[in-house]
Amino acid sequence: MSLDSIKVYHRCGGCGKKQAFINSGKFRVNANGNRVDVWLIYRCKNCKHSWNLAIYERMRPSKIKKDDYELFMENDYELALKYGNDIDFLKRNNAEFS
Ligand SMILES: [Zn+2]
């Protein structure tokens, strides 16, 4: 699946150089005690190496909207697209745009 997201570049740990990364449309949710991490996974266009962009880090579960939490768990297409077009979110994760 390829989502219509902003084009981003990032130094790839697989290729060892800057590459285009593609929004995979998949979220990763990691609940650890009373803290939750949520990432949106991008993949290197060249080698498929993954790059996790943090949406929430060490967040109390009560601070995450219950509806959103379920959408993360379901890898909701619309929500992945929303983050893929959220310039502030991409910048926070040190995405490059050219
Ligand atoms: Zn790569």
| pLDDT tens for each residue of 70-83 | 999 999 999 999 99
Does some domain include residue 84?
Answer: yes
Ligand 1 centroid distance, CA of 37 (Å): 24
Ligand 1 centroid distance, CA of 56 (Å): 25
Ligand 1 centroid distance, CA of 10 (Å): 9
Does some domain include residue 3?
Answer: no
Average model confidence (pLDDT) for the chain?
95
Look up the domain containing 47 and give its range: 8-92
Does some domain include residue 42?
Answer: yes
Does some domain include residue 46?
Answer: yes
What pTM, to 2 d.p., does this model score? 0.92
Does some domain include residue 79?
Answer: yes
Does some domain include residue 98?
Answer: no
DSSP annotation string for the chain: -------EEEE-TTTSSEEEEEEEEEEEEEEETTEEEEEEEEEETTT--EEEEEEEEEE-GGGS-HHHHHHHHTT-HHHHHHHHT-HHHHHHTT-B--
Looking at the structure of the chain, the number of domains it has is 1
Q: In the chain, pLDDT over 90 holds for what percent of residues? A: 92
Ligand 1 centroid distance, CA of 7 (Å): 15
Does some domain include residue 62?
Answer: yes
